[in-house]
């Protein structure tokens, strides 16, 4: 605001001056309702966004499985019934993957292409694909500390690039896997966002004791 010369009276020996020219400057935005696990779900595993058919997607899932240790889940995301012409059949995944869970969530997160093993392991059905329904799966996906840390940094950079500097993340149950990563990033001076969180009991009953403990730790 005003003319550059008017600022000279306010500049002292210890004043840091940033000349941004004609760049647009705005306050940082606080996003009060984000789900890191939603971002993780749509970036973990095989990207099916550009597949034109069920057969093409199945080939990519097989390729991914060949790179994983025996028994590890195959995760995928981004496919579209509109692009494929029909919903994919569970039987194909049952035939191709008898020994590992396969979960491929569609583009709008309303349907999960899954084999029977995945349904038994994570206790939800293809057409019941909400975040709450997928809570056991999300819990399992959060166990890979280094991968989750990398994904959270990518998530933070994406938000920061859009002017978001503060978030409230919605987590299920104790959310301890992500909270430990946020603390680690803070200690390393690598945390890019002001981080707030709220917890929703889904798999476990409401845990008042943990809430009190978190208030002491993070309040």
Instruction: Give me the phi and psi of 32, to 5 degrees please.
Output: -85, 0
Q: How far apart are CA 148 and CA 150, in angstroms?
A: 5
Can you tell me the distance from the alpha carbon of 137 to that of 131, in angstroms, rounded to the nearest whole number? Answer: 9
Rounded to whole angstroms, how far apart are CA atoms 51 and 61?
Answer: 11
pLDDT digits (tens, 9 = 90+) for 171-201: 999 999 999 999 999 999 999 999 999 999 9
Under the banding of pLDDT at 50, 70 and 90, the label for residue 3 is: confident
Total-model pTM? 0.87
18 band by pLDDT with thresholds 50, 70 and 90: confident
- pLDDT tens-digit profile of 116-153? 999 999 999 999 999 999 999 999 999 999 999 999 99
Average the pLDDT over 158-180 and give the result: 96
pLDDT band, residue 1 (cuts 50/70/90): low
Average pLDDT on 20-36 reads 91
User: For residue 20, what pLDDT is reported?
Assistant: 85
Report the distance separating Cα 197 and Cα 182, nearest Å.
11
């Amino acid at each position: 605001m005003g003319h550059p010369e008017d600022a000279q009276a306010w500049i002292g020996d210890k004043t840091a001056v940033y000349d941004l020219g004609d760049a647009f400057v705005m306050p940082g935005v606080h996003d009060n309702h984000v789900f890191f696990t939603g971002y993780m779900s749509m970036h973990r595993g095989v990207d099916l966004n550009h597949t034109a058919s069920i057969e093409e997607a199945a080939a990519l899932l097989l390729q991914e499985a060949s790179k994983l240790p025996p028994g590890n889940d195959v995760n995928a995301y981004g496919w579209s019934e509109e692009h494929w012409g029909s919903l994919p059949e569970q039987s194909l995944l049952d035939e191709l993957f008898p020994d590992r869970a396969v979960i491929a969530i569609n583009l709008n997160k309303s349907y999960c292409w899954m084999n029977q093993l995945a349904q038994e392991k994570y206790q939800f059905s293809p057409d019941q694909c909400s975040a709450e329904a997928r809570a056991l799966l999300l819990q399992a996906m959060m166990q890979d500390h280094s991968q989750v840390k990398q994904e959270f940094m990518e998530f933070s950079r994406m938000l920061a690039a859009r002017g978001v500097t503060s978030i409230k993340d919605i987590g299920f149950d104790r959310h301890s896997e992500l909270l430990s990563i946020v603390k680690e990033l803070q200690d390393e001076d690598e945390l890019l966002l002001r981080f707030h969180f709220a917890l929703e009991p889904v798999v476990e009953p409401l845990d008042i004791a943990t809430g009190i403990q978190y208030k002491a730790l993070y309040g």
